[in-house]
Copies of this chain bind each other. A is one copy, B any other.
């Protein structure tokens, strides 16, 4: 496995992985067809029973007499009867260092010339269509636990500075397989959007001695942009939502990442994730969407950063104006989005 090249723009704080691993020729784009093997052949490599179609799992959860047991596949052996399964991505955007020497070289150079890291697929259920809007809260809690397990392993590695956990739903949102799954990308730098959030929240802390997200919860949980709340989480539409129907899920407990979630909190997260995604599904007829965790691992951010999940329904197209200015046009006021999502959850 060779490494993809990581390039920084000569002017802007903008990074791109030149993915030679899955390099395509321009003419390959001329006919874009659905690549989903389930639609093409009726066989899904993520479904229960097809474990041999993927690399060995780096993590599986099994249900043993009501207890979750964790394990991993060995070469030539694949666990069956799993309830959550994590496998390496066959075409990783970021790939592990090849040797320890390579690892040291990377740390020394600090050039980010190689897209070093990890890229995994988290299969959320043995059942093809068990998407978060419809699945059991307990199963969604397993998915959240597995996110945390993988993140914990990644951040131990010296070359990992950030882990992006995200979900693509629907072909128009970039999901090439329809089976319910998330992805994890461990990468060697804190990416621009999260870095900008960290700088701005550090500045807010310096001025106000307060976490900006804690302030947000205080202010928004009684206002017109509240979607839903429970004992441990709040869902709001951001004041400057850049996507129509965009919403965030923010934990009440101040923390930079979800490592310290209690059992109750994990279930509360699963509950609010399920109910908000279900409302979106009902309201807009199962639209494509993306979600991503925003987290920090650096203990220095402890006071000012606050992890959360951002959900981006794909209901509009960014065109020439958005792409060349970085200014967005949103045709659904976030107050309308919050009211309609909230009403749908309650009905």
Contact = CB atoms under 8 A, between A and B. Distances in A.
Interface stretch (A42-50, A146-154, A161-169, A269-277): A161-169
A140 to B, nearest CB: 17
A284 B337 contact: no
A265 interface: no
A13 B336 CA distance: 24
A330 to B, nearest CB: 5
A228 B179 CA distance: 44
Interface string A27-58: 10111100000000000000000000000000
A287 interface: yes
Contacts of A334: 18
Contacts of A162: 325
A289 to B, nearest CB: 9
A294 interface: yes
Nearest to A315: B29
Number of copies of this chain that the complex holds: 2
A13 B192 CA distance: 12
A interface, over-half SS: mixed
Interface stretch (A69-77, A131-139, A239-247, A249-257): A239-247
B23 A183 contact: no
Closest 7 CB pairs of A and B: A292-B324, A174-B319, A166-B320, A191-B325, A290-B320, A192-B326, A193-B326
Contact of A27 (B240, B284, B321): B284
9 contacts: A10-B212, A10-B239, A11-B200, A14-B328, A16-B241, A167-B320, A173-B317, A174-B318, A293-B324
A114 interface: no
A299 interface: no
A25 interface: yes
Nearest to A216: B10
A240 B320 contact: no
A327 interface: yes
A111 interface: no
Nearest to A324: B292
Given A14-B242, A29-B315, 9 more contacts: A9-B239, A11-B200, A16-B329, A93-B329, A174-B318, A174-B320, A183-B321, A290-B323, A312-B320
